[in-house]
A and B are shown apart, each in its own frame.
Chain A
């Protein structure tokens, strides 16, 4: 684990510890497992968005992807009688296709990622609302999908399945990002796309790959989210979720300039966001302050990582320079 990740873990423990001191209910099994469930749900797609951010891009479209794929998913299962394994594959494939289109618009048409995915955000949301004529879709009273619901949002040995899925996704993506050739290329492109291209890397294909991963993970997350809420109202389902993902990635050490970030960091960032939400609920802070608390903590976290703040904190400076001397002798 990188130093930044340890710092984040410490922050997570400190925030959790304070909350637990103020209200011991925080540490109850029920509360912790509920939180794990949410961390799972949000972590899956935050990792995808994080991959895009590492290339120096951004993905604003995931929240709307949930709405569009969510209504399609329920429609396939309930109204069209598509077998569930096929429906799941179709939804993940749908996410991959949307990601690929966005990736190609960024790399081939050379459009700015912000613009491309902002248009995605608007288009998918509008398409979802048109698809259902703005009506909420649900599974009704049918119990045909109980088994699928258990798979996507149930628990085994007490552990929520979305959390298990997140661990699996994080493990695979961790190897992909930190051990594979593809991951190395992602970092190289994020730091200097020109030099990567001059080294023979197919930068367009690699960047498109990151958008495909983000789309695919958004598809996977859609399935879990649909069963978490049990219905999809296309105008509000997944609203703002792209911002949760970006916040988790930034909190987890990704730089919006690209080339920085770890999977563990993104997962810890997601966890910290959920702990903060939980803190707001459990400490009886008015829930209207929810976003304000989150924003403040992210701001403090990002500020603490700025050079001028590090310089102002002598103990931090000593630690940093010691590390620097240890890693770069005489360079």
Chain B
């Protein structure tokens, strides 16, 4: 690592209205290396990256680019220095084609008075960039037809088209499947080999371990410590992140699963009209539902919860056949969904926590259909206490909470009623390690109380750590079910790709 640093941050501090978000943070980025940046939500990672991108001005410290110190960055200056972002929430426009996205705001224009956009030239320029990233789609493809992983490649291609020297990736794999994640890690390896520096921000320590040359951990706005390549282990990273040993991220069950609660028999959904799904969920168990993105897991959850229509097949709950034609009907049966997209489907962000918590059960707190606010508040407080939702005031809007606390509010909405089957779709996506453990403990406590839980997850560690059994979906059907003793990454992957071991090895 003798290379001169491309970029370094020295003694960066930032205060917001008296609250210290960053304090004396320093880090260096060398060309052709991957820096893993970890830390819990709220540790200051995003603020630091915003300072690097020139969006936020630091209150102290300096940014050194190519040996020249700046007291602050500007957005234009950051772009000139070759700093590019690949955002957690993708910023591609899906009404345009790939090349138009790559050159958005820098379109090639023709001559003449009209200065028309030269699409063909942009396509030609975009093609080698996509090839370099191993993309399996062309520059003329409409982004609306791309998967999330492919859209991400478009973003990376956009960064490369601007001659980026430092690419900052913020939670790039949060919506990717395992295979896609592997591909992205390969792309990162190639970027590194070609001299680009990558700052990789992720909660998924496995990936950080796989790709990072160095790790820097932030905690409460300070650098908690750094790790060199051979020091990067799970334990070391977790210790840095939470400042103590994480004894048990996963809570062991207190009771064994009992008889079958929910029997899904030859269910057919619109997403896969020619595939049948049959699955049994037991009382008191956490059934992991693994598989690649697009393998039909979310379709199954949406059908169970009455959002998408069921074309044929039956759902039996405690021996009774139930019809779930709408979320309302599903909820009446005690089938609840903790959706993948919390902010869109789980919460009304601009509404107080109390009203979010009572939204699904409001009629219980109403007399003559007028809301009894005192009773509503009491119930919300009880849920706050039971789930340890961290806020001083239940009147604040849901948008102000961290991801972990928001997820608890979604859960609180359901727990004031009588759950029988809860489907969690990616329950810990974008949630930091400490809060993850709490969510797992809550899921386990529910299972111990006899609730049947289905957990859809793309996070392999989570699937293996949390589940009692794992059903693996492949192209719209159940590829196989693994018992606790057989759980391993290899076995799950084998089923996820359709039991074809050869494809697996080449992947």
Interface residues of A (CB under 8 A from B): 175, 179-182, 184-185, 187-188, 191-192, 194-202, 259, 321, 327-331
21 pairs from A and B in contact (CB 8 Å cutoff): A180-B370, A184-B355, A184-B359, A188-B351, A191-B348, A192-B344, A195-B344, A195-B347, A195-B359, A196-B348, A197-B307, A197-B327, A198-B305, A198-B345, A199-B327, A199-B360, A200-B326, A200-B360, A201-B328, A201-B360, A327-B393
Are the CB atoms of A181 and B393 closer together than 8 Å? no
> A175 to B305, alpha carbons, bound, how many Å?
33
Q: How far is the CB of A135 from chain B (nearest CB, A)?
A: 46
A197 to B307, CA, bound (A): 9
Q: How far is the CA of A179 from the CA of B396 in the complex (A)?
A: 19
Contact status B370-A188, CB under 8 Å: no
Q: Check B348 against A202 for contact (C-beta < 8 Å).
A: no
Q: Which residues of B contact A198 (CB under 8 A)?
A: 305, 307, 327, 337, 339, 345-346
Q: Indicate if B371 sits at the interface (CB-CB under 8 A).
A: yes
Besides A195-B344, A328-B393, A331-B401, 7 other A-B contacts (C-beta < 8 A): A191-B348, A191-B349, A192-B347, A198-B345, A199-B360, A200-B360, A321-B17
One digit per residue, 1 when the CB lies within 8 angstroms of any chain A CB and 0 when it does not, for chain B 345-379 equals 11111110001000110110010011100000000
B331 on interface, CB distance cutoff 8 Å? yes
Asked if B95 CB lies within 8 Å of chain A CBs, one says no
Q: How far is the CB of B346 from chain A (nearest CB, A)?
A: 6
B370 contacts A179, C-beta separation under 8 Å: yes
Q: In this complex, which of A194, A195, A331 has the most chain B Cβ atoms within 10 angstroms of its Cβ?
A: A195
Chain B neighbourhood of A327, CB < 8 A: 393, 395-396
Q: Give Cα A197–Cα B360 distance, bound, in whole angstroms.
A: 9
User: B residues 295-327 with Cβ under 8 Å of A?
Assistant: 305, 307, 326-327
Question: Hey, which chain A residues are within 8 Å of B347, CB to CB?
Answer: 192, 195
Nearest chain B CB to A271 CB, angstrom units: 27
Tell me which residues across on chain A come within 8 A of B359, comparing CB atoms. Answer: 184, 188, 195-196, 199, 201
Alpha-carbon gap, A195 to B406, bound state (A): 13
Q: A191-B348, A191-B351, A198-B345 are in contact. Are A180 and B369 (CB under 8 A)?
A: yes
Q: Chain B residues near A175 (CB, 8 Å)?
A: 370
CA distance A179 to B363 in the complex (A): 12
- What chain A residues lie within 8 Å of B350 (beta carbons)? 191-192, 259
- Asked if A331 meets B346 with Cβ closer than 8 Å, knowing A179-B370, A181-B366, the reply is no
B391-430 residues at the A interface, CB under 8 angstroms: 391-393, 395-396, 400-401, 413
* 8 closest cross-chain pairs (CB), A and B: A200-B331, A199-B360, A200-B328, A192-B348, A199-B359, A331-B396, A198-B345, A331-B400
**B-chain residues with CB within 8 Å of residue A200 when the two chains form the complex:** 326-328, 330-332, 360
In the assembled complex, how far is the CB of residue B56 from the closest CB belonging to chain A, in whole angstroms? 16
**A-side contacts of B393, CB under 8 Å:** 327-329, 331
Q: How far is the CA of A179 from the CA of B362 in the complex (A)?
A: 12
B399 vs chain A, min Cβ distance (A): 10
Q: Check B355 against A331 for contact (C-beta < 8 Å).
A: no
Looking at chain B, what size class is its interface with the partner chain?
35 or more
Q: CB-CB < 8 A to A197: which residues of B?
A: 307, 327
Separation of A195 and B337 alpha carbons in the complex (Å): 11
Query: Are B345's CB and A194's CB within 8 A?
Result: yes
Does B392 lie within 8 Å of A329, measured CB to CB? yes
Chain B interface residues (CB < 8 Å from chain A): 17, 305, 307, 326-328, 330-332, 337, 339, 344-351, 355, 359-360, 362-363, 366, 369-371, 391-393, 395-396, 400-401, 413
Return B469 CB to nearest CB of chain A, in Å.
27
Q: Kindly list chain B residues whose C-beta atoms are within 8 Å of the C-beta of A202.
A: 326, 328
- Rounded to whole angstroms, the CA-CA distance of A310 and B391 in the bound complex is 27
B117 CB, nearest partner CB in chain A, Å: 30
B326, chain A: closest CB distance, angstroms? 8
Q: Is the CB of B327 within 8 A of A188?
A: no
Given contacts A184-B355, A327-B396, A331-B391, contact A192 B327 (CB under 8 A): no
Q: With A180-B370, A201-B328, A329-B393 known to touch, is A194 a contact of B344 (CB < 8 Å)?
A: yes
CB-nearest residue of chain A relative to B417?
A200
Q: Name the distance in Å between A262's Cβ and chain B's nearest Cβ.
A: 15
- Residue of B348, B391, B401 contacting most chain A CB atoms (<10 Å): B348
Chain B CB within 10 Å — which of A185, A192, A201 has the most? A192
For the complex formed, measure the closest distance between the CB of A202 and the CB atoms of chain B, giving whole angstroms: 6
Residues in chain B near residue A179, CB distance under 8 A: 370-371
Alpha-carbon gap, A179 to B392, bound state (A)? 25
Verify B344–A199 contact, CB threshold 8 A.
no
Q: Of all chain B residues, which has the CB nearest A187? A: B351
- Report Cα–Cα, A200/B326, bound state, in Å: 8
Rounded to whole Å, the gap between the CB of A3 and the closest CB of chain B is: 14
Contacts of B369 in A (CB 8 A): 180-182
Q: Shortest distance in angstroms between A63's beta carbon and chain B's nearest beta carbon?
A: 31
- Is B355's CB under 8 angstroms from A188's CB? yes
Docked pose: A83 CA to B360 CA in angstroms = 46
Chain B residues, CB < 8 A from A194 = 344-345
User: Which residues of chain B are near A196, meaning CB under 8 Å?
Assistant: 348, 359
Report the minimum CB–CB distance from B324 to chain A (whole Å).
Answer: 11
CA distance A188 to B331 in the complex (A): 18
Q: Which residue of A lies closest to B400 (CB)?
A: A331
B398 → A minimal CB distance (Å): 10
Give A329 to B400 CA distance when docked, in angstroms. Answer: 11
Chain A residues contacting B345 (CB-CB under 8 Å) are 194-195, 198
Question: Cα distance A179–B413 when bound, in Å?
Answer: 20
Q: Which residues in A have their C-beta under 8 angstroms from that of B337? A: 198
Shortest Cβ gap from A171 to chain B (Å)? 14
For residue B346, which residues in chain A have a CB less than 8 angstroms away from its CB? 195, 198
B371-A330 in contact (CB<8A):
no
Give chain B nearest CB distance to A211 CB in angstroms. Answer: 19
Chain A neighbourhood of B351, CB < 8 A: 187-188, 191
A212 CB to closest chain B CB (Å) equals 16
Q: In the docked arrangement, what's the CA distance between A183 and B12, Å?
A: 48
Asked if residues B348 and A328 are in contact (CB atoms below 8 Å), the reply is no
Chain B residue numbers with a CB within 8 Å of A180 are: 366, 369-371
In the complex, residue of chain A having the shortest beta-carbon distance to the beta carbon of B391: A331
CB nearest neighbor in A for B349: A192
Q: Give Cα distance in the complex from A115 to B422, angstroms.
A: 40
Give the chain A neighbours of B363 by CB distance below 8 A: 181
CA distance A75 to B360 in the complex (A): 47
- The docked-state distance in angstroms from the alpha carbon of A321 to that of B345 is 30
How far is it, in angstroms, between the C-alpha of A51 and the C-alpha of B119 when the chains are bound?
47
Q: Which residues does chain A contribute within 8 Å of B395, judged by CB atoms?
A: 327
Complex Cα distance A148/B238, Å?
79
Least Cβ distance of B383 to chain A in Å? 14
CA A202 to CA B363, docked complex, whole Å: 13
Contacts of B355 in A (CB 8 A): 184, 188
Q: Which residue of B has the minimal Cβ distance to A328?
A: B396
A330-B392 CB under 8 A given contacts A198-B307, A199-B413: yes
Expressed in whole angstroms, the minimum distance between the Cβ of A254 and any Cβ of chain B is: 14
**How many angstroms between the C-alpha atoms of A36 and B425 in the bound complex?**
55
- B362: chain A residues at CB < 8 Å are 181, 184-185
| Chain A residues within 8 Å of B400, by CB | 328, 331
Indicate if the CB atoms of B371 and A184 lie closer than 8 Å.
Answer: yes
How far is the CB of B192 from the nearest CB of chain A, in Å? Answer: 40
Q: How far is the CA of A175 from the CA of B369 in the complex (A)?
A: 11
The smallest beta-carbon distance between A277 and chain B, in angstroms, is 34
- How far, in Å, is B449 (CB) from chain A's closest CB? 22
A194 CA to B305 CA, complexed, in Å? 14
How far is it, in angstroms, between the C-alpha of A191 and the C-alpha of B307 when the chains are bound? 19
Q: Nearest B residue to A204 by beta-carbon distance?
A: B326
